[in-house]
Amino acid sequence: MREIQQPTAFEAPQWAILPDPRGAQRYANVDNLMEMNIGGAVYHLAIAVPSELFTFLREVVRADRYDTVTLAIDKIGERYAFSILVADQLFDLWTYSDRSLPAWMRDRSRAITGD
């Protein structure tokens, strides 16, 4: 079982993660299907990729524009880690608690794909 990287990049969410009603989209090297890995269930939700993510990728991670970027939320213990995988490098950005994880993220009826 993986552990949350300590410290995470941020202590609290830095931008809103919102659903994308248009469904699956690709923005350059970023796929907007966020993988949800909660209690052994894996499904994908379409999110509106925040523009701040691209700034973070360019200025902090220094990702190459051709690096594949994957977004995910993993339930690890009692927390939910929001992370990005850039090429083969994992970055835990922040965590949510049971109370702070947006309810729409738990709604499997919004899933684009899943087990």
What token pair was written down for 87?
């090429």
Report pLDDT digits (tens) over 85-107. 998 889 999 999 999 999 999 88
Classify burial at 82, counting beta carbons within 10 Å of its beta carbon; exposed 0-12, middle 13-18, buried 19 or more: buried
- How far is the CA of 65 from the CAs of 54, 72, 93, in angstroms? 10, 19, 20
The label of the residue with tokens 């999110």 reads 47
Query: Which two three-digit tokens encode residue 103?
Result: 């309810």
The model's pTM is 0.89
pLDDT tens digits for 31-58? 999 999 988 889 999 999 999 999 999 8
Give me 64's structure tokens: 């190459």
